[in-house]
Every structure is written in structure tokens, then in C-alpha cells.
Structure 1
Amino acid sequence: MNIIIRQARPEDAEKAAPLIINAIGDIANHMTAQQEPEAVLKKVEEMVRGEHTRHSYRSTYTAAANGDIAGILVLYHGNQAEDLDLYLIEQLKKQGHERTIEPEAHADEWYIDTVSVDPKYQGQGIGSKLFDFAEKLVAAQGGGKLSLNVDVDKEGAIRLYKRLGYSISEPWTILGEPFHHMVKMIP
């Protein structure tokens, strides 16, 4: 199968948003200030179409298989996180929702916010290609730390990330839930 990875475009929002929600779970409800699945989906689609949040098409890459979006990667530098989150916090405040959004990365590292593969394409190496792509992007920018957070209960994911060269660097908390912060050095 031929996989083409490219920068997302605003028109990819309808395909990318469900994959983002699948990966981040309840964090999507918090970030959108919505509870109903359809309302959460619409708000995440707006984020993908927009330019100023961590899930913007500008930070998102799509993996296409046979012309269909089979997976996504959301990657940004930690030094951008505060501005990306501040924009979202201000937008939510205008809508009457007070939110804080916890940082998910240090300012000196690249951060894989999301890797998600459509269930019908899982097991075909698309996730691995997205991780490889993230490493190439970081290397092209001069290298450095590449990080991600993983729920402490997701033992299979932790094993996978360790096989990919990530190591647990510290505990992390997102919305009161425990995560492992994992880091890999990219030359």
C-alpha cells in the first residue's frame, strides 16, 4: 500500500477531527467545553480548520492511503504550546467557558500531541510511518528532543514507544490523570 504523508489542509478537518478525538478522548471535551459527541466533533473540526490551536491543520499531517486519510500526526514545538493554548482559552472565554489547559510539553522539545490511525487501516504500519515522519521533521529542524505523553495504564502503547526509542523521563498529569512523559533524542 502506498502511503503519502503531507501537511493537512483545512478541508481535511472532517476526516482528521474524529481521529484526533479518538486519540485524546476526554481531553477533547475539556478543550471544546462540550459534552455531546456531535458538538465536540464540530468544535474539533473548527480547530483543525483554524490556524491558532494545537490541532490546527498547520500542526497536523495526514497519512493518505488510496486517496483516503488513514491516519494523522499532530506535532508542534513546545515553545509554541502556550500561545496555541492561550488562543483557545480566550476563544472559550468569549463563549462563556472558563478553562485552563495544562501544558503537555516542555518549551525545549518537540511534542507529538496525537498519532491516530483509522481502525480500518490499523496494523498496516501507518502509525510507524507517522512516527518516522515526525522524526524526519524534527531532524530537518536541527534535531532535539521529541516527546509524547502516554496514559500510565496503556502498557501496550508504552512498550511500543520504548521499542521506537522513547524512554520515560518523568510523570505528567493531564486533567488530573497520570501519564508518562516519554522522550527520544533526534540527531
Structure 2
Amino acid sequence: MEVQLRQAKLADGPAVAPLIVDAIGDIANRITGEDSPDLIIQKLIELFERQDNRISYLKTFIAQCNDEVAGMMIVYGGDEAIQLDAQLERWLTAKNAPIQTIELEARPDEYYIDTVCVDANFRGKGIGTSLLKYAEVLCKEKGYHKLSLSVELEKGRARHLYEKRGFVYSEPWMIIGEEFDHMVKPI
């Protein structure tokens, strides 16, 4: 199976939003300010279509197989996070969301993999590995020397993949009230 990696396009929103929910679970409720599954997807698509936040199509890359979105990842520099999240916080405040503050998820000197997810129909085919390898390329191109991500404590399979790719535990990290392990790979 041939996998093509590319920058996301606006039209990818409806395929990407459910993958974001699959990857981040309840955090999607908090960053959209919504409880209804349909509204969460709708608001994620709205954020994806904007250019000024961490969910933007400009920060998203697609793994495509046979013209289908097989996986996705959102990546950005840790030094961009404050500005990206300030836009998201303003958006949440304007809609009077219950949680209006977004915690930083990366150190300023890291290139951060915010979200990575492979569609259930394409798992076990090396697509996650391809996305992680591509993140390494992007990290180098952007001039960073550390690639990082945060993994939920109960996601053992994902953690195993990250460790296999050379990520090592760095420190505990809290993201919207949930504990994660922050992992870093020198590039």
C-alpha cells in the first residue's frame, strides 16, 4: 500500500476532525467548549479551517492512501504555542466556553507533535511510523533539534511505537487536568 504524506487542505476538515477526537478524547470537548459529539466535530472543523490556532490545516499533515485520509498529525514549534493558543483562548472566551485557558504542551525549543492518529481501517500498516518519520524531517527543516510529544498514561501501544522511534520519557505533564508523559527525541 502506497502512502502519500502531504500538507492538509481545507477540504480535509471532515476527515480530520473525527481523527482528532479519536486521538484526544475528552480534550476535544474542552478545546471546543462543546459536549455534543456533532458540535465537537463541527467546531473542530471550524478551527481546522482557520489559520491562527493549533488545530489549523496549516499545522496539519495527512497520510493518504488511495485518495483516502488514512491518518493525520498536527505539529508546530513549541515557541509558536503561546500565540497559537492565545487565538484559541480568545475564541473560547468569545463563545463563553466552560474552560477558556489552554496549557502549553511543549518547551519553546521543541518541535511538537500535538496530535497523531491513524484511521482504524488503516492501523497496523506502518502509517503511524511514516507520520512520525515525516515529523522528524519537518523538525530538521524548521531548525529544531528536539522532537516531542505527550502520551496518555494508558496508551501503551502508542507509547511503544514512540519508544521504538527513539522517543524517551522526559517529564510528567498535565494537559487540561489529565496526566501525560512528555517524551522527547533528539534530532
Residues 143 and 185, structure 1, Cα contact 8 Å, conserved in 2: no
2:60 maps to 60
Name 1:95's counterpart in structure 2: 95
CA distance in 1 between counterparts of 2:3 and 2:36 reads 33
What is the one-letter code of the residue matched to 1:178?
A: E
Query: What SS is found at the alignment partner of 1:72?
Result: strand
Q: 2-side partners of 1:175 and 1:48: how far apart?
A: 20
Aligned to 2:43: 43
| Residue 11 of structure 1, CA deviation | 1.1
Which position in structure 2 is the counterpart of 1:2? 2
Aligned length: 186
Aligned to 2:73: 73
Q: CA deviation at 1:153?
A: 2.2
Query: How much does 1:178 deviate?
Result: 1.2
Aligned residue for 2:12, secondary structure, equals helix
SS in 2 for 1:35: coil
Output the amino acid matched with 1:24.
I
Which whole-Å deviations, capped at 9, do the CAs of 1:22-56 have from their partners, x for residues lacking one?
Answer: 10111110000000000000000111111011010
The AA in structure 2 aligned to 1:32 is T
**Alpha carbons 2:111, 2:144 under 8 Å: kept:** no
Any idea what SS the aligned residue of 1:46 has? helix
Distance, in Å, in 2 between the alignment partners of 1:61 and 1:115 is 9
Moved over 4 A (4+): none
Cα distance between partner residues in 2 of 1:12 and 1:81 = 23
Gaps of 5+ in 1: none
Shift of 1:142: 2.9
Q: Scaled by the length of structure 1, what TM-score is found?
A: 0.96
Q: Which residue of 1 aligns with 2:182?
A: 181
Q: CA-to-partner distance for each residue in 1:94-124, whole Å, 9 max, x for gaps?
A: 1222511111111111000111011011111
| Aligned-partner residue type, residue 19 of structure 2 | L
> RMSD across aligned C-alpha pairs, in angstroms?
1.0
1:165 aligned partner, one-letter code: G
Q: Name 1:13's counterpart in structure 2.
A: 13
| Structure 1 residue 172: Cα displacement | 0.5
**Aligned mates of 2:100, 2:18 — CA distance in 1:** 22
Instruction: Specify the alignment match of 2:26 in structure 1.
Output: 26
C-alpha separation in 1, matches of 2:142 and 2:52: 21
